């Protein structure tokens, strides 16, 4: 919701003297920050390690940028009234203020819904992941999963449009289609089988500059103790998703997953809300430890610059967590001989390749505590599965029991919607990309 004044803020940040000269307030605005790649605070390169390929990847993504909530918009209107009901001189990077109006031109509809910037973010992510992984050949379809609120559905839709934008398939209705599996949003009838599982856990509660940095830290505390590692039920609500993804990463092919009736793509995309991202961090045991004492748990009063849990790097618009399965062999030598007609295989495709798991948070690699022996500080796949099924499972506990659902007959305690798209409450819809093609079909 900061897009209306982002340019001015950037100008203002450049205007500040001394060490503040390069301070970008949009990178310290918590859940209101536009998407940006998180910094590599652990010193791990962003690139896929040499000698490795990514075989599978799973993402859980917050929706793209939206207009403010109605309550926040009232604050914008109050600010506008103050600007207009005062006499002042605005100069320099703030000279825009006398002309500024709240950037909403459809008040009954736009608050809470996606902005054009959010649509562009989602489209760009789709195009980037299609290029990064190369999982989907031209003309193939892709299924993604999304929570049911409109801004989340719109994010998934624009992601698919970006992901499937490669090639000219507009006049071929059978090709290049996206399927959305829309899951119920913020209801208490789905149990763990949801992308908003915290809403189905009755026992769970998400509410247990230098001023600008204090504002940022307030968001850090809100998410750390509200829905992240500082909430002892956060890991419980997200562990079923982590377990389901681990099963798919371990399976040689996705169709071998127990009880699976659907063989999903190597790219698993789930779209949700900001408060459903930190629980995944908690369930994975990330961003909650330090070699230096006193950093975690976060102090309620004193920000520690050494902390790695930062809301601006995690729950900004389109913020996401991804788990990648790497297949690795010895990298190619600096000099590689080519023989006519013989394609040199890319390392990672061989039968003796070893498997590893790497986790990214807003694209930045994050190490799994005590499991960093693989390329690029990744974790051997077998060790990762053991970690999830052992220590992390014990820490999370039983979803139904800890959430107070033992009296609910048949309350799901696992996530199975990735391999069973006919989930009892899910709605599957096909995204048609054909739009008034001359001489062709139109929808």
Q: Are strands 379-380 and 364-366 parallel, antiparallel or unpaired?
A: unpaired
**In angstroms, rounded to a whole number, what is the distance separating the alpha carbons of residues 298 and 287?**
11
Q: Known catalytic residues?
A: 63, 274
Tokens of 62: 């917050």
Query: Could you give the C-alpha distances from 267 to 87, 248, 249, 316, 366, in angstroms and in order?
Result: 56, 11, 11, 22, 20
Convert 381-402 into a string of H (helix), E (strand) and C (coil): HHHHHHHHHHHHHHHHCCHHHH
Answer yes or no: are the C-beta atoms of 367 and 42 closer than 8 Å: yes
What's the sign of the alpha-carbon dihedral 271, 206, 412, 408?
negative
Answer yes or no: are the C-beta atoms of 319 and 274 closer than 8 Å: yes
Phi and psi (nearest 5°) for 237?
-70, -30
Tokens of 108: 């009954």
Q: Are strands 354-361 and 379-380 parallel, antiparallel or unpaired?
A: antiparallel
**In angstroms, rounded to a whole number, what is the distance separating the alpha carbons of residues 19 and 23?**
8
Answer yes or no: are the C-beta atoms of 14 and 6 closer than 8 Å: no
Listed in sequence order, the residues at least 6 apart from 307 whose beta carbon sits closer than 8 Å to its beta carbon are 220, 290, 295, 296, 298
First to last CA, the chain: 33
**In angstroms, rounded to a whole number, what is the distance separating the alpha carbons of residues 346 and 51?**
8
């Amino acid at each position: 919701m900061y897009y209306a004044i982002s340019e001015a803020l950037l100008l203002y940040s450049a205007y500040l003297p001394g060490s503040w000269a390069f301070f970008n307030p949009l990178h310290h605005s918590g859940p209101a920050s536009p998407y940006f790649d998180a910094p590599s605070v652990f010193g791990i390169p962003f690139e896929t390690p040499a000698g490795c390929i990514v075989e599978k990847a799973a993402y859980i993504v917050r929706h793209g940028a939206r207009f403010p909530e109605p309550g926040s918009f009232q604050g914008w209107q109050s600010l506008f009234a103050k600007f207009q009901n005062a006499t002042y001189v605005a100069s320099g990077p703030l000279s825009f203020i006398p002309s500024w109006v709240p950037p909403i031109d459809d008040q009954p509809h736009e608050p809470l819904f996606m902005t054009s910037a959010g649509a562009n973010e989602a489209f760009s992510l789709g195009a980037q992941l299609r290029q990064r992984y190369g999982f989907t050949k031209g003309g193939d379809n892709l299924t993604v999963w999304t929570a049911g609120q409109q801004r989340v559905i719109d994010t998934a839709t624009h992601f698919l449009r970006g992901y499937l934008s490669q090639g000219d398939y507009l006049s071929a209705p059978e090709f290049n289609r996206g399927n959305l599996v829309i899951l119920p949003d913020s209801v208490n009838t789905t149990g763990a089988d949801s992308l908003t599982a915290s809403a189905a856990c009755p026992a769970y509660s998400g509410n247990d500059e230098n001023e600008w940095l204090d504002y940022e830290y307030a968001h850090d505390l809100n998410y750390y103790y509200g829905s992240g590692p500082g909430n002892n039920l956060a890991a419980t609500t997200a562990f079923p998703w982590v377990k389901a993804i681990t099963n798919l990463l371990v399976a040689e092919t996705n169709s071998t997953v127990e009880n699976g009736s659907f063989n999903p793509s190597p790219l698993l995309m789930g779209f949700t809300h900001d408060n459903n991202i930190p629980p995944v961090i908690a369930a994975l045991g990330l961003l909650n430890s330090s070699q230096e004492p006193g950093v975690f748990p976060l102090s309620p009063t004193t920000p520690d610059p050494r902390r790695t849990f930062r809301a601006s790097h995690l729950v900004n618009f389109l913020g996401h967590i991804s788990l990648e399965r790497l297949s690795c062999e010895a990298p190619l030598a600096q000099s590689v001989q080519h023989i006519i007609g013989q394609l040199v295989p890319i390392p990672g495709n061989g039968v003796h390749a070893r498997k590893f798991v790497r986790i990214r948070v807003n694209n930045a690699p994050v190490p799994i505590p005590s499991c960093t022996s693989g390329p690029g500080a990744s974790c051997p796949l077998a060790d990762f599965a053991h970690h999830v099924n052992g220590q992390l499972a014990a820490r999370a506990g039983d979803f139904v029991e800890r959430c107070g659902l033992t009296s609910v007959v048949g309350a799901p305690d696992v996530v199975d919607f990735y391999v069973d798209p006919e989930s009892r409450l899910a709605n599957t819809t096909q995204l048609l990309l054909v739009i008034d093609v001359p001489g062709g079909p139109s929808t």
